[in-house]
Amino acid sequence: MKLSYRDRVILIVVAIIAIIAIVAIALIRPTIKSINTDNKTLETTKQTWTETEQKLNQIEPTKKRITEKRDNAAKLAEYFTPETLFSEQDQFLHKALDDNNMHVTNLTMTDPEAAPLDFYYENPHELSYNLNQHADLDGSMAKALSEKLREYLALSARTAQDVATRTSTIECRAKKEDLMNFLADIKKMDTTVLVESVTISDYTFCPAEDADPNWTAEERAENVDHSTMTIVVKFYSVPVPTAADLGE
């Protein structure tokens, strides 16, 4: 069957359109694939940027928290005795010893060592509750005891932290009132100095009637109303934190 001129023209046009469509599809398909890949990359980049922006926004609050913790640590360190040499810590006690007429015969101090600094808390022993429980009509005594026990359990569960300690052993001679004044002065010190023990040789502090009649006047002055003793004092120290390098 012969095609007319008009039919051949239409066929040619259709063939050309089909060829153009095939070529267009062949060219567009990689472009569509590339666009899809680029969209995925864009989403990943947006997510990465969001995460990075969140981290950047955390820098200032983090720097503020670091500075606050450092300042709090420095303030807490003020209550501890300085990390000093033996001679400097000896001077730390000297004023209290001299002011209270404590005649020191020997003073030794250990090297620093790490030791736990235990928390101070009350261990409640309400022995009277068993006697009074029948009078606890409104339960107020039981409630108060329960609160004390709850506080004790919470505090006792904390872990003690290690700090640097030095032990000073002081052998001296003093009157009873001078000893009490010395201990009071140590108690007033707003630092972590702890009197661990006081061992007194003569708890009567040699009253005048017990003086040896053969003592000289100098010996009487040294011994009457006096006693030799050993005082053990502990110093607790922590390093003072330095300012953090925050890149400012």
116 strand-pairing partners: 162
Q: Which pLDDT tens digit goes with each residue over 193-218?
A: 889 999 999 888 888 887 788 888 88
CATH 3.40.50.2300 fits 82-118+161-241, yes or no: no
pLDDT-based confidence at residue 68 (cuts at 50, 70, 90): confident
Distance between CA 194 and CA 237 in Å, rounded?
Answer: 12
Question: What is the structure's pLDDT at 164?
Answer: 83
Question: Between 248 and 77, whose confidence is greater?
Answer: 77
pLDDT at 45 over 80: yes
Question: What is the structure's pLDDT at 85?
Answer: 53
Q: Where are the domains of the chain?
A: 1-77, 82-118+161-241, 119-159
Segment 151-167 shows an average pLDDT of 76
pTM for the full predicted model:
0.57
Cα–Cα nearest to 189, from 69, 99, 109: 99
Segment 81-102 shows an average pLDDT of 74
> What long-range pairs does 153-161 form, CB within 8 A, spacing at least 24?
155/119, 155/121, 156/119, 156/121, 156/123, 158/119, 160/116, 160/117, 160/118, 160/119, 161/116, 161/117
Residues making up the chain, counted from first to last: 248
pLDDT at 1 over 60: no
Percent of the chain clearing pLDDT 90 (strictly above) = 15
- Which range among 81-95, 137-151, 160-174 has the greatest average pLDDT? 160-174
pLDDT-based confidence at residue 137 (cuts at 50, 70, 90): low
Q: What is the largest CA-CA distance in the chain?
A: 161
